[in-house]
């Protein structure tokens, strides 16, 4: 499940950048539903992946934003990867959440606490 979520968020972030427009971290965070800090951390990992696979590079400029810099061939390659990854559907069912919380509660020791 964690790997599927990671792929989902990476795909969503790349979808925000693929047009080549300059976007801020806040705009991506709002579109994806994550914090700006999480987006910055994921951008670092995504940028490494893009460079390793010759699919371009994410350029960043403070107080301006970031954008994807790539050739048309690299963009097509990236789009095909994104299309394949979009087949992963992340289900966040309420029953799954309840089960996870119950597992956490039952594993707690008497001296341990949990906060939300």
**What is the per-residue DSSP string for 37-63?**
HHHHHHHHHHHHHHHHTTS-EEEEETT
106 assigned to some structural domain? no
Within-domain flag for 114: no
What pLDDT is stored for residue 73 in this prediction? 92
Residue 72 domain flag? yes
CATH number for the domain harbouring residue 34 = 1.10.10.10
Q: Considering the domain boundaries, does residue 26 fall inside one?
A: yes
In this structure, is residue 37 part of a structural domain?
A: yes
The domain tally of the chain equals 1
| 109 lies in some domain | no
In a domain, 113, yes or no: no
Query: Which residues are CB-neighbours of 85 under 8 A, at least 6 positions away?
Result: 7, 10, 11
The pLDDT tens digits along the chain (116 residues) read: 477 788 888 889 999 998 888 999 999 999 998 999 999 999 988 998 898 889 899 999 998 999 999 999 999 888 888 887 654 344 456 777 777 777 777 777 777 777 76
Range of the domain at 17: 2-90
Cα 21 to Cα 36: distance, rounded to the nearest angstrom: 18
Q: Is residue 111 part of a domain?
A: no
Entry pTM: 0.68
pLDDT at 89: 40
């Amino acid at each position: 499940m964690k790997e599927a979520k990671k792929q989902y968020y990476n795909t969503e972030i790349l979808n925000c950048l693929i047009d080549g427009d300059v976007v801020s971290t806040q705009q991506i965070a709002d579109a994806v539903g994550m914090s700006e800090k999480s987006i910055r951390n994921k951008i670092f990992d995504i940028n490494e992946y893009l460079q390793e696979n010759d699919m371009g590079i994410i350029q960043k400029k403070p107080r301006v934003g970031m954008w994807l810099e790539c050739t048309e061939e690299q963009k097509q390659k990236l789009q095909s990867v994104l299309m394949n990854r979009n087949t992963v559907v992340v289900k966040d069912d309420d029953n799954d959440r309840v089960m996870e919380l119950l597992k956490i509660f039952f594993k707690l020791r008497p001296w341990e606490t949990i906060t939300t």
